[in-house]
A = this chain, B = another copy of it.
Amino acid sequence: MPDPDIRARILAAVDTAFDEQLAFTAELISEPSLRADEADAQDLLYRAMESRGLEMDRWEIDSEELRNHVGYGPSTVSYENCVNVVGTYKPRTTAGRSLILNGHVDVVPTGPEDTWSRSPWHAEMKDGWLYGRGAGDMKAGLVANLFALDAVRAAGLAPTAEIIVQSVVEEECTGNGSLAALLRGYTADAVLIPEPEENMLVRANVGVLWFKVRVAGEPTHPREMSAGFNAIDSAYTVMSSLRKLEEKWNEQRSSHRYFEDLEHPINFNFGKIVGGDWPSSVPAWCEIDVRVAIYPGTTADEAWQELQDCLDSTGLPVTATKTGFYSEGYVLEEGSDAEAVLAGAHREAFGEELRSFTTPGYLDGRVFTLYGDTPTLVYGPVSEAIHGFDERVDIESVRRITKAIALFIAEWCGVEEDTAP
């Protein structure tokens, strides 16, 4: 850890700029950066990074190389407007270890907006929470990266290693944004991603697959219903079969390190359903969008085969199409220097020990871990109702996480007194 004086200067700098940090987070939340509609939010971040003197880069993420990568998630949307933004801090002196500060700008849909207590795009602060779609997942963290670096520099210090600040797209659906950043050549000695993780460090993380199941039926008039074949009823049979596979996979948890103690680590989600055309026709088709989780060490191909076998076993006219995530899970191996440095920074910021845990949701951490061989610290603030109504992030937690990231930068990258004019 940097010496107490430097630590104090950095922590004070976070506090000084914290109102500005919250205001900028609120501004970013007010940009509804839903999938393939992140351009305005990315522009805002581009300008914010550029005004800080970072070396700027932005590019449409699509590429032949991306589409051929084993970790690529098949996209169902055009990538014409899907742009990553990266700003690089170039040190005057290179002495420490380089760092990627990563975050995603895309947010999930709001669901029925009238079920929210306020507009999902109105970032109200109330009772210690900052509200809004993306508040926790993960605009607070994305902005914390930027303000943590600010704080180090506002404290009169200059990091002595390259720091790459990334705002990526596609984290909520394919993971192709971070993968594209890796393939563009951005690497470092460690990666930090302040996803909403309850002030904890992610030790292990599932892989995720998305696919669409289509069941065909045989429509008839309801008066002769038994002659027909109701695709909505069949969809339910398919879901029941998949639920059985889910239970089988959950029963295997004891043989998966870091998952033994979780009650139900593998969740299948039936997130969307559409079927049939007319109340008085026996429905001819039904489609379900499914999200499944898999253990680290299981490849997406292996899981896909097992899912196909499960669907085949129903005996129904059913097809499955990949529609997004097609990713392995990952484990952050214990004992890395990066984790030790984060543990120290966390202790300073929170006054307690850093805890790690296993989380059953997709994280871009797998990109840097599996394909970049880089220790990746997914670590971020307390949130509630991410992907739900009235999503919110704990403001005091954001402050402390920002402090921990700033201290991590100072220790990991090293700092020198900034004597620039």
Contact = CB atoms under 8 A, between A and B. Distances in A.
Contacts of A110: 277
Contact of A388 (B219, B274, B323): B219
A419 B285 CA distance: 58
Nearest to A265: B223
A284 B228 contact: no
A291 B271 contact: no
Interface in A288-343: 288-291, 293, 323-324
Interface in A367-408: 385-389
A45 to B, nearest CB: 23
Nearest to A280: B291
Contact of A281 (B271, B273, B278, B284): B271
A336 to B, nearest CB: 24
> Copies of this chain, how many?
2
Contact of A361 (B222, B267, B272, B386): B222
A232 B280 contact: no
B108 A223 contact: no
Contact of A284 (B225, B361, B389): B389
Nearest to A389: B219
B276 A220 contact: no
A223 B289 contact: no
Given A111-B219, A387-B219, A269 B279 contact: yes
A334 to B, nearest CB: 22
Given A221-B387, A267-B222, A267-B223, A109 B283 contact: no
A233 B270 contact: yes
A112 interface: yes
A163 interface: no
A230 B290 CA distance: 13
Interface string A76-116: 00000000000000000000000000000000111110010
A274 B232 CA distance: 10
A282 B280 CA distance: 29
B385 A323 contact: no
A271 B267 contact: no
Contacts of A273: 232, 235, 273-276, 283, 286
Given A270-B232, A279-B290, A279-B324, A285 B219 contact: no
B272 A276 contact: yes
A85 B161 CA distance: 82
Contacts of A208: 280
B272 A289 contact: no
Q: Which of A137, A273, A275, A323 is most buried by chain B, counting CB atoms within 10 A of its CB?
A: A273
A360 interface: yes
A129 interface: no
Contacts of A387: 219-222, 278, 280-282
A120 to B, nearest CB: 12
Contacts of A72: none
A111 B269 contact: no
Interface of A: 108-112, 115, 137, 172-173, 208, 210, 216, 218-223, 225-226, 228, 230, 232-233, 235-236, 239, 264, 267, 269-286, 288-291, 293, 323-324, 359-362, 385-389
User: What are the 6 closest A-B residue pairs judged by CB atoms, nearest first?
Assistant: A223-B361, A272-B276, A271-B279, A221-B387, A111-B284, A222-B269
16 contacts: A109-B281, A112-B285, A210-B279, A210-B280, A220-B385, A222-B360, A225-B264, A226-B264, A228-B388, A232-B239, A236-B239, A271-B282, A272-B283, A273-B275, A274-B275, A276-B289
Given A232-B239, A272-B278, A278-B289, 12 more contacts: A108-B278, A221-B361, A221-B386, A222-B269, A223-B267, A230-B269, A232-B270, A271-B282, A273-B273, A273-B283, A279-B324, A284-B389
